[in-house]
Amino acid sequence: MWLYSIEENLAGEENMNRDRAMADACAEDGVPRLRFYSWNPWTLSLGFNQKDERIDTTALESRGYGLVRRPTGGRAVFHADEITYGVAMPAGGRGIHETYAMISGALKRGFETLGASGIEFSRNRPDFREHYQETDSEGCFSTSALNELTWNDRKLVGSAQRRYDSILLQHGSILLGDAHLEIVDLLTIPERMKQSMRERLASRTATLREILGGAIPGFAEIAETLREGFAEVFDVELERVERASTATIHSIRTVEEL
């Protein structure tokens, strides 16, 4: 059995705290957990080790957006018109690429149920040291990594994983619309470069709205359909709870106690 929750419109710090608490709870009771969530206000998140020198904090503040650092690695993500997933589970001795593929497979199955065809596993193995020298590399969606999900070779889901001993925490952004392109305006890069960078980012990313040809289901329906993908691929039952980050040993404990 897994636990899952659907948690809309949470602030950046709260979302990251709940993801960390989800990993802690899994380490305590061994029960895998799955979250689907969204962000309010829209928020720019940085990878755990990413420098913030290219982030335009003035632009963020003037637009009322949040800023948070993720417990996982990778590059900046502007969490706007998206659905975010988080998974905490025992790694079971499996490596990062294998677990990435398993989780991506569950998402892919859910997308297919929604009617999204043509979604594939990325076979790309970028040289990240070289890529991070480019201005475009500040954003997670500037390139695809192995076993991430793409459509027409354009990135649909951007994910990152961290290991806590035998427990993995993986979360990722599923693009619903084009609002992620606004990340260009949240970086301290010359104005003359922003339009071309926005165009390159648009050419490298795909959205669920584009794949489905316009209208998309509501947040909760998408989340439940993706949950069905996890149930099928991992061959498990998932029990819905108010917060997937709570522990279930003996009695449910609050996030603050973890």
Q: How would you class 94 by CB atoms within 10 Å of its CB: exposed for 0-12, middle for 13-18, buried for 19 or more?
A: middle
22, 76, 116, 140: which one is catalytic? Answer: 140
Active site residue 26: no
Task: Say if CB 206 and CB 150 are below 8 A apart.
Answer: yes
Task: Say if CB 18 and CB 255 are below 8 A apart.
Answer: yes
Q: Mind telling me the catalytic residues? A: 140
